[in-house]
């Protein structure tokens, strides 16, 4: 085509075809895989290190179990304290941006974990991993809901939850296999998954048009919370080794910093924890249940890995396979828990799950022997643990948010997840404090029994608190019905 002056006009740009349903579906699927990969990594590395601790302890000459416990506790504490700020940061600059930053940091930190030359190096790298995971956990579900078509959101959320629930089972098995090569591969395996998530996420993840412009959360409050919980944890794991004055000093420090944190929560315009939510009885009781459940859960998994490898002398692979039947039940039982929750209520379902875990631990106390007897001794407890933990954790979020207004659901869920992570750090620390350093097999049997009694006690109290919560909720519902009928 020519203009009036006889000069050829530039060609018209080709029309851009609107995205077809097929293209949109493919992009949604890719986004689902990216989101699930990031979420899976964060959940996987919460527990995968458990199976490697005995091997790492032998590899780093001069290390102690109490020192290595910070590879677990540091991850849990930092993840707990930063999830709420990271979620609000995502609201401010966009969930996609924060998710990709989180995956990148997690991947780089995994590389650092794999090349660690001593325990302090490994602990610092694990803390960096937790910072990345804190960005992944609160953004993954929001991105998933934005990426999935409306008619497929329920199915996508169920699949996302199942993937998160399967991470412990995968970590138990694959972690044991990778240990046969080198414990460092437990971290190197994250690299290709993280690189895929970053590269594909740049293309597939949805971008919010108008991120929120609300105030940032109290980041300094998160630092205070980390200091306080770290001091409590350090006091617990060092109690058998340090003097009473040093332990007392740590506990005083923890109390002072925790009081400072609570004071900031009353004065900051956007506190890390909205203390007004704690005036809702159902929410407070559910958080107590979540804390106790997580103490029992973490102590149970940690003790299992240590017992199989240190007392029975099993390899990492055999230990992972031994735990697999229970962990494999988690995603299955979680999918089947909805009818149970509907029939007996969320709080009663939490109580039933915690009770099942407690019975499993009591069975170990009654039957465990120094001579390996897996089917008779460990397997019943493992199966009860898998089914009970799946039922408890599935119902816990429903119970925690039952009494909250709709505007507080996101904040309430974040607080419960934070409490769960703190409970996991305390569970490992308490068990290590009770375990000590037994010098003979008989002493080890006695030490593990002490730890298992703690584990069972935490689960039993969690079940009792959950039953009380269910009773309170039923009475509250009856009062509301009576008021409605009277009106």
**Tens-level pLDDT at each residue, the chain (487 residues):** 444 433 344 344 333 334 444 555 677 778 888 888 888 888 777 777 877 888 888 888 877 888 888 898 888 888 888 887 887 777 777 888 889 999 999 999 999 999 999 999 999 999 999 999 988 887 887 787 676 676 666 666 666 666 766 666 666 677 778 888 889 998 998 999 899 999 999 988 887 656 556 667 788 988 998 899 888 888 887 877 788 899 899 999 999 999 999 999 998 888 888 888 888 888 888 899 999 999 999 899 889 988 998 899 998 888 888 888 887 787 777 777 778 888 888 889 999 999 999 999 999 999 999 999 999 999 999 999 989 988 888 788 778 777 677 666 667 777 887 888 888 888 988 998 898 888 788 899 999 999 999 999 999 999 999 999 888 888 877 887 777 776 5
Q: 471: which strand partners? A: none
Q: 23-204 maps to which CATH number?
A: 1.20.1250.20
Q: CA gyration radius for the chain?
A: 24
Q: 274-487 maps to which CATH number?
A: 1.20.1250.20
Torsion, Cα of 441, 444, 449, 450 (10° steps)? 150
- Give the Å distances, CA to CA, from 198 to 12, 33, 97: 35, 11, 10
Structure tokens at 61: 């000459």
Q: Do domains 23-204 and 274-487 have the same CATH topology?
A: yes
User: Which DSSP letter does residue 402 get?
Assistant: T
pTM of the model: 0.80
Q: How far apart are CA 113 and CA 125, in angstroms?
A: 5
DSSP codes, 130-155: HHHHHHHHHHHHHHHHHHS-GGGHHH
Are 208 and 95 in contact, with CB atoms under 8 Å apart?
yes
Are 477 and 403 in contact, with CB atoms under 8 Å apart?
no
Parse the chain into domains and list their residue ranges.
23-204, 274-487
């Amino acid at each position: 085509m020519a203009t009036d002056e006889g000069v050829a006009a530039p060609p018209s740009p080709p029309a851009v075809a609107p995205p077809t349903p097929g293209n949109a579906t493919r992009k949604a699927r890719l986004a689902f895989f990216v989101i699930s990969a990031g979420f899976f990594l964060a959940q996987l590395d919460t527990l995968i290190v458990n199976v490697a601790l005995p091997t790492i302890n032998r590899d780093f000459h001069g290390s102690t179990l109490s020192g290595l416990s910070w590879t677990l506790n540091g991850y849990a504490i930092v993840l707990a304290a930063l999830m709420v700020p990271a979620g609000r940061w995502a609201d401010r600059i966009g969930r996609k941006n924060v998710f990709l930053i989180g995956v990148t940091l997690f991947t780089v930190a995994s590389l650092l974990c794999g090349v660690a030359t001593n325990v302090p190096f490994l602990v610092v790298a694990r803390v960096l991993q937790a910072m990345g995971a804190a960005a992944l956990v609160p953004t993954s579900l929001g991105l998933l809901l934005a990426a999935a078509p409306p008619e497929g959101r329920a199915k996508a959320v169920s699949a996302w939850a199942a993937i998160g629930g399967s991470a412990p089972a995968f970590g138990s098995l694959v972690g044991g296999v990778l240990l046969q090569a080198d414990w460092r591969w437990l971290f190197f395996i994250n690299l290709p998954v993280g690189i895929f998530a970053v590269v594909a996420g740049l293309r597939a993840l949805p971008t919010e048009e108008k991120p929120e412009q609300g105030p940032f959360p109290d980041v300094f409050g998160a630092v205070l919370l980390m200091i306080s919980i770290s001091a409590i944890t350090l006091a617990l794991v060092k109690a058998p080794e340090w003097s009473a004055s040093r332990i007392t000093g740590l506990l005083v420090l923890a109390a002072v910093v925790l009081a400072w944190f609570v004071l900031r929560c009353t004065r900051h315009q956007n506190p890390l924890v909205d203390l007004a939510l704690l005036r809702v009885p159902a929410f407070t009781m559910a958080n107590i249940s979540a804390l106790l459940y997580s103490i029992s859960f973490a102590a149970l998994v940690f003790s299992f890995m240590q017992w199989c490898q240190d007392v029975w002398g099993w390899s990492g692979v055999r230990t992972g396979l031994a735990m697999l039947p229970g962990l494999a039940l988690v995603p299955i039982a979680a999918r089947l828990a909805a009818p149970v929750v509907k029939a007996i209520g969320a709080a009663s379902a939490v109580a039933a799950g915690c009770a099942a875990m407690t019975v499993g631990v009591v069975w170990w106390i009654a039957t465990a022997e120094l001579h390996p007897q897996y089917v008779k001794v460990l397997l019943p407890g493992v199966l009860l643990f898998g089914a009970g933990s799946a039922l408890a954790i599935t119902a816990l979020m429903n119970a925690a948010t039952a009494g909250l207004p709709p505007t507080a659901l996101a904040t309430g869920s974040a607080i419960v997840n934070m409490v769960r992570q703190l409970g996991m750090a305390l569970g490992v620390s308490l068990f290590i404090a009770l375990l000590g350093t037994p010098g003979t097999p008989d002493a080890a049997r006695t030490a593990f029994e002490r730890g298992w009694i703690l584990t069972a006690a935490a689960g039993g109290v969690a079940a009792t608190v959950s039953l009380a919560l269910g009773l309170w909720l039923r009475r509250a519902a009856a009062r509301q019905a009576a008021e409605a009928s009277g009106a």
